[in-house]
């Protein structure tokens, strides 16, 4: 009797599986195109690739935080509002929207390392392009002087009937706004191409070249190191914004002055069907969409909020945002990856833990919404209509403008004035008090004390430190879930679909998350504005915000969007049972099956030979 040479119907058809997953992987080679000397082959390992990826991720990741840190400065420099800022911030997502599917498709067909390198070269070019408006148009001198010699008379706007209307000097005003905006927008667009290559290709490439047991550590490591990029970007913006736009000028204003402008310079169709029918991937993607919309929008608005509400300089706001956020998130992401490596929770426990951790992050946003500060009255503020009327009978003949914001405080600290001109002041003097040079204006027809002092009225606000600490703790706890989230994303699809999945998700997030949130949060800031810059009958950047309105709108919308993301986390928990090999290497199982099949075939052939 001849033995049955075929495996049972319940056995796995290894040939079909091996057509999709290579059991014997080709040993990677290190080189530049065809130049692959032997001494370079010692660098052909995942750890060296991780080191290189970490370096470029730090440099690439610093671009957006640096730009965010300089947003308020750019608005003042080129005199545009938050809506144009929103369009700059969505430019990189527009390019990502179109390029992500291409990278996802090419990821499994061409050399992914070369694609990553090409993307980083594009990022480098975009950085030079971002700084080009300064070299083309030079520093802003319209608020100071064109001959680099500044006088006290030029520094302050006072009440005088002889003032020549600024509208007489409007010829050619604003001509630099749109060209500069176009250059910065296109630079952001190109940057999106580069970071899309990083996001789409890097994690699948790492996941395919290390064991699944070590994958959480590698993923958390690169995610943590990548956070050094935002920290580096905010740190650079903080340092640069302490310098005047032209470092060789010595303007008669300090960093606290609102006029300060810092130095800012076919198979595809089948794969898509598999992804669309994947409820786990669907819930996880929507969860990330709403959560990133919430925290991404809050992230780009936070420096502006700290400047307006807590009266921090642009440099300080950028430094605090970068240092507090990035450090806490870096520790959280790295810690989350190590905890997964040690405890290896099953998919249901992992997704449930992710839900709880991110819920704590949501609560921190809700809590800081109620951390308020006493607000000083602003002259001309109409509480019922929630607007400011700067011009009144006492300064009617002063011909004041809204081009320059020069805040001054009434002597008793009860009210702020937009400028000495709006206070009706016609004279000023400098005096030394406690070794400080104090500028005071007198003959102020709109002030009951007849005297005002330079600067915004001080307030007794002690909530800034609490605000920073609570947000940092919330970001730390929420970031513990980041590595697990990426792991769930990678394990929710078959290995053959991973690169395309990352491209499709990036496209989806660009369309429904990354493009809308700069516009949404730009509108939040703009609707909270009380006083706009007005130059040649054109509206520029916002000078003064309704701080309480800004606080409630910013945090309530962020909290609502984050909670929507948590709702879809519940669906992720329910469908997590679809994940079968969260930590086991599928390739090794396939190889063992192939070896077992070959062994049984050899034994069967031996039996046939002996029988004959």
pLDDT of residue 145: 42
Cβ-contact 384, 372 below 8 angstroms: no
- Within 13 Å of residue 172, how many CA atoms lie on the same side as its CB? 2
Is pLDDT of 565 > 70?
yes
pLDDT of residue 460: 78
Is pLDDT of 175 > 60?
no
Buried b (16+ CB within 10 A) or exposed e, 379-409: bbbeeeeeebebeeebbeebbbbbbbbbbbb
Q: In whole numbers, what is the pLDDT of the chain averaged over residues?
A: 76
pLDDT of residue 73: 75
CA distance 340 to 355: 15
pLDDT of residue 245: 56
Interval 307-326 mean pLDDT:
81
What residue spans of 511-546 are helical by DSSP H? Answer: 516-527
Provide the CA 522 distance to its chain's centre, in angstroms: 14
The SS3 call for residue 406 is coil
pLDDT of residue 154: 46
**Range in 15-29, 374-388, 528-542 with the lowest mean pLDDT:** 15-29
Cβ-contact 503, 200 below 8 angstroms: yes
- Residues recorded for the chain: 612
Is pLDDT of 216 > 80?
no
pLDDT of residue 432: 56
What residue spans of 40-168 are helical by DSSP H? Answer: 46-61, 63-69, 71-78, 82-106, 112-137, 152-155
Dig out the tokens for 581 from the structure.
């090999």
Domain ranges of the chain: 43-375+461-577, 377-454, 581-612
Give per-residue pLDDT as tens, 486-505.
889 888 888 777 777 877 88
pLDDT tier, 518 (very low <50, low <70, confident <90, very high otherwise): confident
pLDDT of residue 250: 58
Buried b (16+ CB within 10 A) or exposed e, 278-314: bebbbbbbbbbbbbbbbbbbbbbbbbbbbbbbbbbbb
Angle at 131 between CA 130 and CA 136, to 5 degrees: 115
Dig out the tokens for 268 from the structure.
């595809």
Interval 515-519 mean pLDDT:
86
pLDDT of residue 474: 94
Is pLDDT of 477 > 80?
yes
Is pLDDT of 599 > 70?
no
45 torsion bin: left (phi>0), alpha (psi -120 to 50), beta (else):
beta
CA distance 397 to 443: 14
Burial class (CB in 10 A: 0-12, 13-18, 19+), 334: buried
Give per-residue pLDDT as tens, 421-433.
888 887 777 665 5
Residues 6+ apart with CB under 8 A from 293: 513, 516, 517, 520, 561
* Higher pLDDT pick, 286 / 315: 286
What residue spans of 242-278 are helical by DSSP H? Answer: 267-276
Cβ-contact 530, 381 below 8 angstroms: yes
Nearest 5°: phi and psi at 539?
Answer: -85, 130
The DSSP letter of residue 385 is T
Q: What percent of the chain lies above the pLDDT cut of 70?
A: 74
Of residues 550, 547, 526, the one with CA closest to residue 375: 547
Is pLDDT of 71 > 80?
no
Topology (CATH level 3) of domain 43-375+461-577: Growth Hormone; Chain: A; (1.20.1250)
> Which residue in this structure is represented by tokens 């520093």?
139
pLDDT tier, 54 (very low <50, low <70, confident <90, very high otherwise): confident
CA distance 343 to 440: 65
The SS3 call for residue 430 is strand
pLDDT of residue 434: 52
Residues 6+ apart with CB under 8 A from 124: none
Separation in Å, CA 228 to CA 61, 78, 292, 582: 8, 30, 19, 28
Dig out the tokens for 474 from the structure.
């919330």
CA distance 457 to 442: 17
Interval 460-474 mean pLDDT:
90
Cβ-contact 289, 485 below 8 angstroms: no
* Higher pLDDT pick, 83 / 596: 83
Residues 6+ apart with CB under 8 A from 227: 61, 326, 329, 330, 333
pLDDT tier, 176 (very low <50, low <70, confident <90, very high otherwise): low
Strands 436-442 and 427-433, sheet pairing:
antiparallel
Interval 473-483 mean pLDDT:
92
CA distance 316 to 376: 22
Burial class (CB in 10 A: 0-12, 13-18, 19+), 343: exposed
**Range in 252-261, 289-298, 504-513, 590-599 with the lowest mean pLDDT:** 590-599
**Range in 78-82, 122-126, 465-469, 556-560 with the lowest mean pLDDT:** 78-82
């Amino acid at each position: 009797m001849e033995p049955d040479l075929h495996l049972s119907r319940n056995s796995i058809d290894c040939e079909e599986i091996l057509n999709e997953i290579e059991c014997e992987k080709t040993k990677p080679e290190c080189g530049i195109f065809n130049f692959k000397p032997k001494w370079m082959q010692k660098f052909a390992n995942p750890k060296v690739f991780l080191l290189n990826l970490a370096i470029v991720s730090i440099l690439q990741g610093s671009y957006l935080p640096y730009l965010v840190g300089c947003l308020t400065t750019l608005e003042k420099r080129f005199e545009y509002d938050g809506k144009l800022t929103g369009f700059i911030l969505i430019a990189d997502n527009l390019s990502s929207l179109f390029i992500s599917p291409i990278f996802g498709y090419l990821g499994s067909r061409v050399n992914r390392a070369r694609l990553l390198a090409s993307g980083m070269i594009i990022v480098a070019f975009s950085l030079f392009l971002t700084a080009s408006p300064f070299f083309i148009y030079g520093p802003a001198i319209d608020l100071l002087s064109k001959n680099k010699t500044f006088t006290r008379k030029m520094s302050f706007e006072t009440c005088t009937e002889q003032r020549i209307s600024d509208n007489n000097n409007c010829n050619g005003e604003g001509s630099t706004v749109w060209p500069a905006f176009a250059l910065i927008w296109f630079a952001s667009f190109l940057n999106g191409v580069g970071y899309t290559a990083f996001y789409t290709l890097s994690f699948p490439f790492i996941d395919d070249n290390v064991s699944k047991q070590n994958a959480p550590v590698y993923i958390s490591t690169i995610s943590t190191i990548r956070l050094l990029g935002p920290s580096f970007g905010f740190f650079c913006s903080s340092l640069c914004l302490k310098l005047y736009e032209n470092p060789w000028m010595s303007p008669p204003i300090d960093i606290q002055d609102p006029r300060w402008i810092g130095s800012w310079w076919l198979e595809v169709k089948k794969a898509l069907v598999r992804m669309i029918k994947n409820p786990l991937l669907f819930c996880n993607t929507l969860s990330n969409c709403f959560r990133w919309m919430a925290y991404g929008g809050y992230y780009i608005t936070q420096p502006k909020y700290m400047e307006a509400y807590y009266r921090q300089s642009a440099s300080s706001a950028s430094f605090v945002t970068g240092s507090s956020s990035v450090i806490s998130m870096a520790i959280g992401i790295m810690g989350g990856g190590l905890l997964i490596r040690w405890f290896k929770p099953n998919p249901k426990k992992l997704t449930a833990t992710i839900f709880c951790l991110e819920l704590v992050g949501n609560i921190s946003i809700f809590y800081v919404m109620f951390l308020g500060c006493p607000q000083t009255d602003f002259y001309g503020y109409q509480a019922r209509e929630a607007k400011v009327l700067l011009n009144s009978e006492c300064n009617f003949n002063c011909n004041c403008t809204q081009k320059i914001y020069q805040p001054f405080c009434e002597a008793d600290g009860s009210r702020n004035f937009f400028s000495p001109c709006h206070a009706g002041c016609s004279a000023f003097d400098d005096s030394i008090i406690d070794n400080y040079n104090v500028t005071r204006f007198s003959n102020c027809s709109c002030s009951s004390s007849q005297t005002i002092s330079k600067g915004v009225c001080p307030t007794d606000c002690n909530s800034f430190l609490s605000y920073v600490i609570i947000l940092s703790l919330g970001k730390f706890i929420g970031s513990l879930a980041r590595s697990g989230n990426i792991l769930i994303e990678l394990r929710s699809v078959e290995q053959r679909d991973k690169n395309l999945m990352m491209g499709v998700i990036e496209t989806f997030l660009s369309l429904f998350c990354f493009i809308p949130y700069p516009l949404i949060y730009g509108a939040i800031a703009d609707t909270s504005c009380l006083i706009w810059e007005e130059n040649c009958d054109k509206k520029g950047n916002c000078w003064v915000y309704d701080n309480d309105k800004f606080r409630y709108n910013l945090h309530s919308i962020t909290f609502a969007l984050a909670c929507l993301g948590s709702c879809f986390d519940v669906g992720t928990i329910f469908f997590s049972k679809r994940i079968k090999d969260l930590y086991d290497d599928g390739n090794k199982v396939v190889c063992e099956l192939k070896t077992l099949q070959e062994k049984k075939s050899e034994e069967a052939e031996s039996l046939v030979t002996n029988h004959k």
